[in-house]
């Protein structure tokens, strides 16, 4: 059972599920059919997550996470992708999150849930709960609501608009 990072009195699994549950109605309101790999506190194996995504057509796979680092000063959101078809949505999400937190940009990664997806797939690290200030922010329902809103706005933009251009990371968060 993988519960994810546990730092500064926060558990990643709880934060990630909360953001995902906040994201669902926002996307449903925009006409998206949402299939969640989990909607309760239960572990879903990585291969199963990708298989759930691959069982549907015309999907965006978005995996929500919170990060950890031994370097406690590191902060901000990072969006990972594996295939070139996923880069535009990764950039759009990173740009959107950069409006509310430090944008660490997009990076390629060989994560199983990304590698095994046949459709655009991204893994969003919403912040570092190993950073005390960022953990305090991530621990608030208001910030998790903002995260869900910005991710939803980016998904809608990616579905219906021109792909985003890279933006320079923002400072001050």
Q: Would you name the residues annotated as active-site residues?
A: 125
CB 106 within 8 A of CB 56: no
CB 138 within 8 A of CB 127: yes
What are the contacts of 165-170 at 24+ separation with CB within 8 A?
Answer: 165/91, 166/91, 166/95, 166/105, 166/106, 167/94, 167/95, 167/98, 167/103, 169/76, 169/98, 169/102, 169/103, 169/104, 169/105, 170/98, 170/102, 170/103
Token reading at 129: 């709960």
């Amino acid at each position: 059972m993988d519960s994810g990072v546990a730092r500064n009195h926060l558990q990643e699994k709880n934060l990630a599920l909360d953001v995902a549950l906040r994201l669902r109605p926002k996307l449903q309101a925009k006409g998206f059919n949402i299939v969640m790999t989990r909607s309760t506190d239960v572990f879903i194996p990585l291969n199963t997550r990708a298989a759930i995504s691959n069982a549907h057509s015309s999907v965006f796979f978005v995996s929500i996470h919170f990060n950890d680092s031994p370097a406690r000063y590191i902060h901000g959101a990072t969006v990972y992708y594996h295939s070139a078809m996923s880069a535009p949505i990764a950039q759009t999400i990173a740009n959107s999150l950069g409006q509310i937190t430090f944008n660490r940009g997009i990076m390629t990664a060989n994560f199983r849930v990304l590698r095994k997806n046949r459709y655009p797939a991204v893994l969003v690290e919403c912040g570092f709960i190993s950073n005390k200030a960022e953990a305090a922010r991530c621990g608030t329902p208001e910030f998790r609501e903002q995260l869900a809103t910005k991710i939803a706005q980016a998904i809608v933009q990616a579905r219906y608009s021109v792909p985003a251009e890279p933006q320079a990371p923002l400072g001050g968060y």
